[in-house]
Amino acid sequence: MKRIVVTGAAGFIGSNLVKGLNQRGIDNIIAVDDLTQGEKFRNLADLKIADYVDAAVFYDLFSQGKYGPVEAVFHEGACSDTMETDGKYMLGNNYTLSCQLFHACQEHGTRLLYASSAATYGGSDTFREDPAFELPLNVYGYSKLLFDQRMRRECGQRLERASASKAGQVVGFRYFNVYGPREQHKARMASVAFHQFNQFAVNGKVELFGEYGGYAAGAQMRDFVFIDDVVAVNLWFLDHPQASGIFNLGTGRAQPFNDIADAVVNAMRRSRGEQALKHEAMVAAGLIEYSDFPESLRGKYQCYTQADLTALRGAGCDHRFTDVQNGVSKYMNCLLGLN
């Protein structure tokens, strides 16, 4: 296989993709990122790459063909902060650069597999890859939707038919709530599982939002997807260059935040040789606490998400996803150094 490029390679999903490629014996990888946040180097330190290129220079150089033949670009580089309000920065980073990358890929015969987001659905109650259900609640979600819309216009029926020539493959992945190893640098944007691990380690309890949006405390539901599954689906499309389109990448199953808390607490208890507890017993013992829903998130928060996997299955991808109980338990063991 020719060279692979991974943008956002020192980030959460990007570094796990590099790891997945390495596990296949692929190390002719150009890693692209911005290491101003220097601690992100840890996500690459144990991986094999051919070169590292700063994001500030990569896109122009790639457009000029400076890196020779490239089989595929996994484009994970983006600002993923849903609370960012600087629209000019968000669109420049997430939309304009992505458009430049797309046109360069088309010119050079390079496949493009890129990160979209379930934030494109925003306030919708239906999570199907259809413009009728795309209602972003923040400028991050809009930046991702705008690029998806551009791809629909540029690629036309190719995306609708989920088929393409090898050189022309374009795939957008609408990631739902991803969790797993190598997200420690994301601070407040890290997964709830990561935050609860640290809460329990320090305070002996975890915290969740209280009642909001017609949902009881901790009962808001999301489609939580384990990072290993995200990598597996990305690599499935690498193996199937005829498949193009915009696809949901979630489990297809919504689970309440309470399920995450239960899995975190019981994984931590097991590591201490303590017996697993049911949810009600955890609450009664003060191991799970609820706080008032933040005013800053009202009207900007998705209380329910569940990926419709019809398009993914229609493309031929039959990957079976890990549920919260097993995925979070595996993640906790990783954070505890037990894997």
- Residue 318, pLDDT > 80, answer yes
pLDDT tens for 44-80 read: 999 999 999 999 999 999 999 999 999 999 999 998 8
Q: Sort strands 288-291 and 206-209 into parallel, antiparallel or unpaired.
A: parallel
| 50 shares its domain with 198 | no
Please report, for residues 125, 126, 156, the alpha-carbon distance to residue 170 in angstroms, rounded to integers and kept in the order given: 27, 24, 11
| 245 shares its domain with 216 | no
Please enumerate in sequence order all residues whose Cβ is within 8 A of that of 80, keeping only pairs 6 or more positions apart, or say none: 117, 140, 186, 189
Per-residue pLDDT, 141: 94
Domain residues for the domain of 103 are 3-176+227-250+308-321
CATH of the domain at 194: 3.90.25
| 231 shares its domain with 295 | no
Beta carbons of 145 and 166 less than 8 angstroms apart: no
Per-residue pLDDT, 160: 57
Give me the mean pLDDT over the 80-98 stretch: 90
| 66 shares its domain with 211 | no
CATH of the domain at 52: 3.40.50.720
| 117 shares its domain with 15 | yes
Which sequence positions are flagged as catalytic?
140, 186
Per-residue pLDDT, 301: 85
| 215 shares its domain with 80 | no
Query: From CA 47, how far away is CA 27, in angstroms rounded?
Result: 9
Tokens 């980030």: give the residue: 11
Sequence-ordered alpha helix ranges (H) in the chain: 12-23, 55-63, 87-91, 97-108, 139-155, 157-161, 192-203, 227-239, 257-271, 279-284, 310-314, 324-335
CB hemisphere CA count around 187 (13 angstroms): 7
Query: From CA 114, how far away is CA 102, in angstroms rounded?
Result: 10
| 289 shares its domain with 148 | no
Give me the mean pLDDT over the 145-168 stretch: 75
| 189 shares its domain with 97 | no
| 267 shares its domain with 172 | no
| 27 shares its domain with 166 | yes
Beta carbons of 169 and 247 less than 8 angstroms apart: no
**Element at 70 (helix H, strand E):** strand 70-75
Q: Structurally, how many domains does the chain consist of?
A: 2
Per-residue pLDDT, 69: 96
Give me the mean pLDDT over the 220-229 stretch: 97
